[in-house]
Chain A
Amino acid sequence: MRILIADDEMTSLRLLERTLERAGYEVTVAKNGREAADCLVGPDSPRLALLDWGMPELDGPGVCQEVRAQHSQRYVYIVLLTSRGSKQDIVEGLESGADDYMIKPFNPDELKARLRTGQRILHLEDNLVEAREDMRFRATHDSLTSLLNRGAILDLLAREVARTTRERGSTVILLGDLDHFKNVNDTHGHVVGDEVLKEIARRLVFSVRSYDLVGRYGGEEFLVVLNNCEVSKALERAEQVRVAIANLPVATSHGSLSITMSLGVLASAEWKSLPPEDILREVDAALYAAKAAGRNCCRLALPTAIRNPVLTS
């Protein structure tokens, strides 16, 4: 594990460096507080730090305060190691954000034991962060396809539409539905149906840009939000998605299956401040039109004024 040691007194620095190297740590050295703070808030910083109190440019408590003010995702466990040993100093040091306080001169065994405590706490913190991220993912993603789930994609759609309206840009929304998917389940069983859904999800993700959003809207329905996509490109992009699904049969445990998708398409710039629920209604109508047109095709949702322009004489 990497550890930062910061001390401007050379015998302390060397004793610490050697003691910690022997204990298996990868040691980074800072000779003043400024160097230490910059190192600890930088990318890929050490997560254990041993700081002296009195250092040029920035003292140990000052380093603690800077590190804590960053609210970094990765917690840094800080031990203040100083010859200031009054109760008042200890309180002040811990209040500045240090996790532990040791008084110089250090006993090597005690120092190593305290650092092992720090490592245990960092390990616990890692586990908590991992569990939190896992829960966050489960709460916002579909367990079968790992796409955004219905709630998450609708939230993001509302945000994206609001942003687009504010910035007078354009977002394109695709609502896709697999054609005759019920037949897949009825003929080959739900296990194969699930295999198809997973492969379709994968193809959807690979057919759009990394910053576009793809979610599972319902059973075999998928919602795609194409950020900053021009109106003129809407049908072209939808067609790319359709082709990515239809072009290659899907390999399943029951052999290859030809799968197609019908898509409703809506470009937000053609609609004035449409709320998300109305967008969904309109794009659903366009999807219905694609189904009615024979499936495996895309249909664009257009406002009445564009569909039936008022003619003036």
Chain B
Amino acid sequence: MTLSRNMPLEELIDLPDLLMRVDNDRELLLEIVDIFKQEFPRLQWELEQAILSHDLPQTEQRAHALKGMLLNLSIQGGAAAVAEIERRARAGEPAGIEESFADFADALHGLLPGIDAYIAGVPL
């Protein structure tokens, strides 16, 4: 999936995949979303700082961590975008990393404010 600016949540999150992952357990789903809301801004900020300071090993590590978290929430497009940042950092290719991060941040801009309401409406 290609990311685009302010993508709607139903396109960002692969809901059937996410429900399979939590075994249709609403309590666990809410718990995971809660952890995500706390952890995602920190990891995104750490990745941004690593990119801005041109620290490729740290960029690779933070992108890797962020990718894992996004995959757990079945946000495959977001995960693919940071995977590309991780790949470039690991390969020692800084060109394009800042632009990729900007696209990623743009696309996921509406994720946190809307995720509670979106998850609350999931029929289980």
Give residues in A with beta carbon < 8 Å to B: 8-12, 14-15, 18-19, 22, 52, 54, 83-84, 104-105, 107-108
Find B68's partner among A9, A14, A107 (CB 8 Å cutoff). A9
Contacts of A10 in B (CB 8 A): 35, 38-39, 69
B interface list, Cβ under 8 A from A: 20-23, 25, 28, 31-32, 35-36, 38-39, 61, 64-65, 67-69, 71-74
Cβ-neighbour of B28 out of A8, A18, A83, A107 (below 8 A) = A18
B32 touching A83 by the CB < 8 A rule?
A: no
Docked-complex contact A15 and B32, CB < 8 angstroms? yes
> B69 touching A11 by the CB < 8 A rule?
yes
User: Is the contact region of chain B dominated by helix, strand, or loop, or is it mixed?
Assistant: helix
Instruction: Write the chain A residue with the least CB distance to B31.
Output: A14
A83/B23 in contact, CB under 8 A: no
Note all chain A residues with C-beta closer than 8 A to B23: 19, 22, 108
Between A and B, 6 residue pairs with Cβ closer than 8 Å are A10-B39, A11-B39, A11-B69, A15-B28, A54-B64, A105-B68
Q: Which residues of A contact B67 (CB under 8 A)?
A: 83
Nearest CB in chain B to that of A105: its residue: B71
Q: Measured between alpha carbons, how far is A14 from B30 in the docked complex, in Å?
A: 12
Structural contact, A11 and B35, CB atoms closer than 8 A: yes
Are A105 and B64 closer than 8 Å at their CB atoms?
A: no
Residue of B nearest to A108 (CB): B23
Contact A15 to B20, CB < 8 A, known contacts A10-B35, A105-B71, A105-B74: no
Select from chain A the residue with minimum beta-carbon distance to B67: A83
Smallest CB-CB A-B distances: 6 pairs: A105-B71, A11-B72, A10-B35, A83-B68, A9-B68, A11-B35
Q: Which of B20, B25, B38, B69 contacts A12 (CB 8 A)?
A: B69
Question: Is B68 within 8 A of A15, CB to CB?
Answer: no
Interchain CA distance A19-B28 in the complex, whole Å: 10
A19 to B36, CA, bound (A): 18
Q: How far is the CB of B17 from chain A (nearest CB, A)?
A: 8
Q: Give bound CA distance, A141 to B73, whole Å.
A: 60
User: B71, A14: Cβ atoms under 8 Å?
Assistant: no
* Residue numbers in A under 8 Å from B36 (CB-CB): 11
Chain B contacts of A8 at CB under 8 A? 65
Across the interface, which residues of A come within 8 angstroms of B22, CB to CB? 15, 18
Chain A hits for B28, CB < 8 A: 14-15, 18
Contact B64 A11 (CB under 8 A): no
B46–chain A nearest beta-carbon distance, Å:
13
The CA of A16 and the CA of B106, in the complex, are separated in Å by 30
Q: Which of B21, B39, B65, B68 contacts A108 (CB 8 A)?
A: B21
The CA of A126 and the CA of B38, in the complex, are separated in Å by 43
A12 engages B64 (CB within 8 Å): no
Asked if residues A105 and B21 are in contact (CB atoms below 8 Å), the reply is: yes
Name the contact of A105 in the complex, choosing from B25, B31, B38, B72 (C-beta under 8 A): B72
Known: A9-B39, A12-B72, A18-B31. 11 other contacts (CB 8 A): A9-B72, A10-B69, A11-B35, A11-B39, A14-B28, A15-B21, A15-B22, A18-B28, A104-B68, A105-B71, A108-B23
Residues of B within 8 A of A54 (CB): 61, 64-65
Whether the Cβ atoms of B69 and A9 lie closer than 8 Å is: yes
State in angstroms the CA–CA spacing of A299 and B22 once bound together: 78
- Asked if B39 and A12 make an inter-chain contact with CB atoms under 8 angstroms apart, the answer reads no
Residue from the set A9, A14, A104, A105 with the largest chain B CB neighbour count within 10 Å: A105
Which residue of A is nearest B17, CB measured? A105
Report whether A83 and B73 are in contact in the complex, using a CB–CB cutoff of 8 Å.
no
